[in-house]
Amino acid sequence: MIKIAKRTIVTIAVSLIAVSSAHAASGNSADLLKYIPADTPYAFASTEALPADLADKLEPTIDEILQAYQSVLRHVMAEQLGKMSSEDGAADEAERLRGLMEEVLGLMSLEGIRGAGIERKSAFVFYGNGLLPVLRLELSDTDLFDAAVARIEEKAGKALSIGSAKGESYQYVEADKIKLVITTLDDHAVITVVPAQYDEAQVALALGIDTPRKNLKKSKLLRAIQKEYGFSAHLTGFVDTERLAGIFAGNRTEQDNDFFTAIGEQPPEVTDVCAAEIMVMAGIAPRIVFGYTQVSSRQFGSTVIVELRADIAEGLESIPAAVPGLGTDPGGFMSLGLSLNPMALREFYEARLDAMEADPYECDKFAELQAGVAKGREILNQPLPPVVYNFRGFVANIADIQGLDMSSGGMPESIDASILFAVENAESLIMMAALMDPQIAALNLVPDGKPVKLELTQLAVIADEVFAALSTDALSISLGDGAESNSADMLVADSAEPAPFMSMSMDSARYYSMVAEAMSKARAADDEDKMPAAIREAMSEIMILSGSMYERMSVEVHFTERGVEINGLMQLSD
């Protein structure tokens, strides 16, 4: 029991250190990159300090969030240890575990993190030593980190095992052929996992005692990614999907082979044909890159880019369409929109089917995918009404909403909202609907952009007024305060250029507050599974605190010549 608990707690501590260090980096820490192999399949690094005014702004709330998480874990711990104490002969062990958990929980605060030698300016890198993850972070004082580990060992009542590599000692916990290794080297904390069978030289490489001859500092790969995509050194990273696929397609390095030999397992064998086709498949999206694009005391900007093969990226670029209001933030509670050119999507899909027919997959692992070509042709041969191909997207704006109980899923008491459907030749859509419903025909909606009042008893309980307006390429419906003017304004709103595929924005504090309220009211149907009030309250507090940091958040998805780009913006509260 104590061994399992210790492994769990060390893992929690590792995760905590990784999360907390993600909010800090030193301004002169590029040397950390020399420990990262040039052929690593994944890496992300923070080697530049966040602005001091930004850190000052965030840290108090982050500390409160960590303390709220402590409350949750303490309640769970008390419940489990209470059950354990009732077992014969387990009271002493339960008490020891209680002290151990309290020591770990003590790290879940800014004071605890600083007390372990992890400062605001501690840079960090997280990367793959082959498949195996490595976290390396700067310390203000290695003795403080070692002391924190020693306190955990003391509370656990059993010391971690000691190993040595190239004259440097390290501590570890071994389980299931794997060692979790923790050590301090070169004013850094290093945490990784290695196969238990690794020899001294292999452990030395994993810990960075022997730095790789070819590394990311020399290759300047991260710097190239930053330059190409406008990322900052506050955070930049990548995942090399071709490198990962190659490990399982037979394109393994000597280090990869050593890893599989050490754990006594090998990846499934694949034929030469399958290996080649796996790499072709990986080449469709060869790499994912991500990083911060804006960092200030007012906002965070971040981007994730799934890089795509040129022909795939070019085909996707044609799919988004201009939709009035899409890609702009109207304010209010929430906005969500999507754009789509169905004919362009059909042509893209058809081109993919053509390619798979011209050069079919021969690997049995892709047999089902290849069989889907015939099914895809059947789908394309199904007749669709013209209105489907005329569709271009929608935008829904919720300016305000009152009396919504998210825990029950009921209707709100009132709502001020608008929705726009972008449709080429929108008048024909209304004419078709009028043939099926006399009430729609009686509205006399014409594509002149002028609002027409709708008498809809279904919506009367949540909105006093409902208006609709029609243009040649869009239909808008608005309800609540300002519905008449809003229905007309939506038709003439600008569309972002280039048009996004998807766009979302929202009032973060309001949204998190609503989630917190729903959590505080949550009740499980079965008393046995009911969430305890203390946990509900703590989780509700975490939601409120999270929302208090951000004023608004927005996300846009674009298809570009580079691939799929996901841009996020978090506007910070004053």
User: What is the structure's pLDDT at 7?
Assistant: 41
Does 222 score more than 90 pLDDT? Answer: yes
User: What is the structure's pLDDT at 154?
Assistant: 84
pTM: 0.88
Distance CA 472, CA 469 (A): 11
Question: Running DSSP on this structure, what letter comes out for residue 448?
Answer: T
Per-residue pLDDT band for 36 (boundaries 50, 70, 90) equals: very high
Does 58 score more than 80 pLDDT? Answer: yes
Q: Which element (helix H / strand E) includes 77? A: helix 52-85
Contact 323, 422 (CB under 8 A): yes
When pLDDT is averaged across residues 316-328 and rounded to a whole number, the result is: 95
Distance CA 172, CA 169 (A): 10
When pLDDT is averaged across residues 240-266 and rounded to a whole number, the result is: 92
Of 58-72, 331-345, 376-390, 527-541, the poorest mean pLDDT is in 527-541
User: What is the structure's pLDDT at 23?
Assistant: 45
User: What is the structure's pLDDT at 12?
Assistant: 44
Instruction: List pLDDT tens digits, range 348-366.
Output: 999 999 999 999 999 999 9
Burial 510-541 (b: 16+ CB within 10 A, else e): bbbbbbbbbbbeeeeeeeeeeeeeebbbbbbb
Contact 134, 41 (CB under 8 A): no
Collapse the DSSP code of 21 into the 3-class scheme (helix H, G, I; strand E, B; otherwise coil) and give the result. helix
Contact 280, 246 (CB under 8 A): no
When pLDDT is averaged across residues 540-550 and rounded to a whole number, the result is: 88
Instruction: List pLDDT tens digits, range 113-163.
Output: 999 999 988 999 999 999 999 999 999 999 999 999 998 888 877 788 999
User: What is the structure's pLDDT at 142?
Assistant: 94
Q: Which two tokens stand for residue 154?
A: 């003391």
Does 332 score more than 50 pLDDT? Answer: yes
Pick from 454, 448, 504: which is nearest to 477 by CA?
454
User: What is the structure's pLDDT at 28?
Assistant: 53
Average pLDDT, the chain: 87
Pick from 253, 128, 132: which is nearest to 196 by CA?
132
Strand partners, 18: none
Question: Running DSSP on this structure, what letter comes out for residue 473?
Answer: S
Q: Which two tokens stand for residue 536?
A: 């509900």
Rg (CA), the chain: 29
Does 525 score more than 80 pLDDT? Answer: no
Q: Where are the alpha helices (DSSP H) in 193-289?
A: 200-207, 216-219, 221-229, 241-248, 254-263, 272-282
Does 270 score more than 80 pLDDT? Answer: yes
Q: Which residues contact 5 (CB under 8 A, 6 or more apart)?
A: 97, 100, 156
List the domain boundaries for the chain. Answer: 2-36+49-213, 334-347+387-572
User: What is the structure's pLDDT at 408?
Assistant: 66
Contact 259, 178 (CB under 8 A): no
What CA–CA distances, in Å, run from 105 to 64, 99, 101, 225? 14, 10, 6, 37
User: What is the structure's pLDDT at 461?
Assistant: 66
Pick from 158, 162, 164: which is nearest to 172 by CA?
162
When pLDDT is averaged across residues 4-31 and rounded to a whole number, the result is: 47
Does 402 score more than 90 pLDDT? Answer: no
Q: Name the phi and psi angles at 459, rounded to 5.
A: -100, -5
Per-residue pLDDT band for 3 (boundaries 50, 70, 90) equals: very low
User: What is the structure's pLDDT at 467?
Assistant: 92
User: What is the structure's pLDDT at 386?
Assistant: 81
